[in-house]
Amino acid sequence: MDKIDFKKKLSKLYSAPADSFAIVDVPVMQFVKIDGKGDPNSEPSYKRAIERLYAVSYAIKFGAKAKLGKDYVVPPLEGLWWADDPDDFVRRWKHRWQWTMMIMVPDFVDRTLYDAAVAKSRDKLGEPPESLRLESLDEGRCLQTLHIGSYDDEGPVLARLHNEIMPAQGLTFAGPHHEIYLSDPRKVAPEKLKTILRQPVRRAS
């Protein structure tokens, strides 16, 4: 059977220019999600959330292959990040951040496959966090760019987006800051990490 690679099939969503912000209209997509808060570098629940997301996502993948005859590459990890003050991202005050970490799940995956995957993860990792869920996300019109470098170097890029690009186009925030992690930080040097930075936008009133 053919293996679907959504980074290629949905290339406009998983690629972006590195020197500018592109406009992209994001369709409704479903994800496995877990919520949390605090610095991802020091908050233990963050590491547990990532471990759980991958366990469930791979169980879904294998379930879809066995029961539906459909195989796919598990999409990259993504995260929604927000704080009471958007400038906290520019300042990198991570202790004030809240997050939803998530991995995309194909539309052909139903609740039955998801529930079975959660049960398998429970056998391995124990009871899942209460916020674990299968849920759709509707972002619509977004601006996005490709950031190459350390996560901690995103501040100037976001400051330019928030303070220059969005105001110049008459746009304001329409959802949380969204990151798509195209690189594995365990295998790639910080200065070579590739991350899509996405911001849902709407016309400012």
Mean pLDDT of 146-156: 92
Residue 5 scores a pLDDT above 90: yes
pLDDT (mean) for 52-75: 96
Residue with token string 């590491």 = 47
pLDDT of residue 154 exceeding 80 = yes
Asked if residue 150 has pLDDT above 90, the reply is yes
Confidence class of residue 51 from pLDDT cuts 50, 70 and 90?
A: very high
User: Of residues 49 and 95, which shows the higher confidence score?
Assistant: 49
Q: What string of DSSP letters covers 23-86? A: EEEEPPEEEEEEEEES-TTT-HHHHHHHHHHHHHHHHHHHHHHHHH--EEPPPPEEEEEE-SST
167, pLDDT greater than 90: yes
More confident: 87 or 175: 175
119 vs 182: CA distance, rounded Å: 28
* Domains delineated in the chain: 3-203 (3.20.80.10)
Q: What's the rounded mean pLDDT across residues 200-205?
A: 93
pLDDT tens digits for range 79-110: 999 887 767 766 778 888 899 999 999 999 99
Band of pLDDT at residue 186, cut at 50, 70 and 90: confident
- Using a cut of 0.75, tell me whether the model's pTM lies above it: yes
Phi, psi of 33 (to 5 degrees): -130, 150
Per-residue pLDDT at 42: 87
When pLDDT is cut at 50, 70 and 90, the band that residue 78 belongs to is very high
Residue 122: band (very low, low, confident or very high) from pLDDT cuts 50, 70, 90:
very high
